[in-house]
Structure 1
Amino acid sequence: MSFNADPVELLGSSPLFADLAGAELVQLAALAHRRSVKPRETICRKGAPGGQMFAVLRGRLKVTTVSSEGREAILALLSTGDLFGEVSLLDGAPRSANVIAVTSGELLVLERADMLAFLEGQPPVSQKLMLALCRRLRSTDALIEDLLFRPLTSRLARRLLELGREHGQAHPRGVRITLRLSQEELGQLSGSSRESVNRQLAQWDNAGVVTNEGGHLLLLDLNTLQELANKS
């Protein structure tokens, strides 16, 4: 979707609101306001009050956490159509991670009080919010398991396959990841250093598994990546 993306269309495309009728989507969109963001702007800060939910109209953001030593890890990448902050709608607890804009963009913002009032008449949406929370917990558990027990080749293969599913498009030679990712970002996604990611990508390039085409990663051999992702 473009900068002038229709909020009703965007909300309706989300699995969270898929059961809502057109009039209900219009009602929900009317509760929201737009917010422009700049590169490196922090939208959510870990530990801060969680009083809003967001939908990405345009741009790219990263969900991060930082260790006590100052090392940043990327938990997720967000782009047009993605929602974040929905878990705070359930418990009102402080944010569990940082969300930072990677590029300029625009967000759709829903205040917690408005959403709670809306949800009172929408039990199916409330149930889907609970499912979203469960998926988030499972994803966090899987990430911790990866960092503790899997080698870099497995972790990086898993992250690339996830990026291919979430941000990939069909290509004559495989799957092209539409996001432009630096090796530093790939390192933060896979819990490794930029240098280690660089060496691994070079090996995979020579082996015909992954290559870089015009600044975008191209997944050439999905079967090999899946085999590597399954190794522990």
Structure 2
Amino acid sequence: MTETAEYNSCLSIVPIFAGLAEADLRKIDAIVTHEKFAKGETLFGPGEVANKLLILHQGQVKLTSYGSEGQEKIVSLLQAGDFDGTASLFEPEEHTLYGVAVTNGEACVVKRDVFQEVIQESPQLALHLLNAFGNKLVKQQKESVRNSTTDARGRVASYLLEYSNQVNDKRFVLPFKKYELANLLDLTPETLSRQLKNLEKDELIKNLPHNTIEIVDEDELSFLI
């Protein structure tokens, strides 16, 4: 990633900073740097030192791992407002996943050393951020439970509702190619396509051109989860 000195608006779109006092927002803004990345760029990989919080401002980044035979497993997709590297702000650690840019984009970065100085001056800020990081962990646990306990139809329904809520629109373009979404949901591409067709047949969604989905019956879709 290339670093620039231009002002960024990451703080305004990131939920973890919502509700902070203006003085604390200024403290965070003062230590944020701005970085750009290109589609296909690997931002970090397993074994590399993790010493900063990455807050996605624009674009998409997938967190992924690879099996012994090179098969990819997508763990998560970061989009505008999402963040990664929270634990590294408090304790030195290493990355366990690859972070790969799905699109061109921009990120705001908070480095561990300067962050440590700020929270020592503001215990209230530290508590606020810890609560926000805890909420993210709960979300990750829910995703794990979804993929381990829900059938294929329920996984697809759950993802579509979650993403629709995230973008605040019942019609949206899937952020993944179909095979990548299948990977994320721990399904085969064939199973994903079949489930999407069945949901459309049951008049719960519409499969539109250009990888677009429209939720038709949100309530019925929720019953599948």
TM norm structure 1: 0.82
Deviation at 1:12, TM superposition (A): 3.8
1:101-132 Cα distance to aligned partner (Å, 9 max, x none): 11001111221101111111222332233224
Runs (4 or more) in structure 1 with deviation over 6 Å come to none
Q: Distance in 1 between matches of 2:168 and 2:190?
A: 25
Work out whether 1:74 is the aligned partner of 2:69: no
Unaligned runs of 5+ in 2: 1-5
Q: Corresponding residue for 2:125?
A: 125
1:223 paired with 2:219, answer yes
**Residues 17 and 129 in structure 2, CA contact (< 8 A), matched pair in contact too:** no
* Aligned equivalent of 2:204: 209
Quote the residue 2:93 is aligned against: 93
SS of match in other structure, 2:28:
helix
Q: Residue 189 of structure 1 aligns with which residue?
A: 184
* Equivalent pairs, count: 219
Change (3 A) 1:66 1:158: farther
Letter in 2 for 1:228: L
Give the CA RMSD over aligned residues.
2.4
> 1:179 and 1:90, CA in 2 relative to 1: closer, same or farther beyond 3 A?
farther
Distance 1:128 1:66, change over 3 A: farther
Bigger shift: 196-205 or 85-94?
85-94
Output the amino acid matched with 2:131: L
Matched residue SS, 1:63: strand
Uncovered stretches (5+) of structure 1, i.e. residues with no partner: 170-174
Aligned-pair identity in percent equals 26
Q: TM-score normalised to the size of structure 2?
A: 0.84
- Hey, what does 1:172 align to over in structure 2? none
Matches within 5 A, 1:146-185: 146-169=146-169, 175-185=170-180
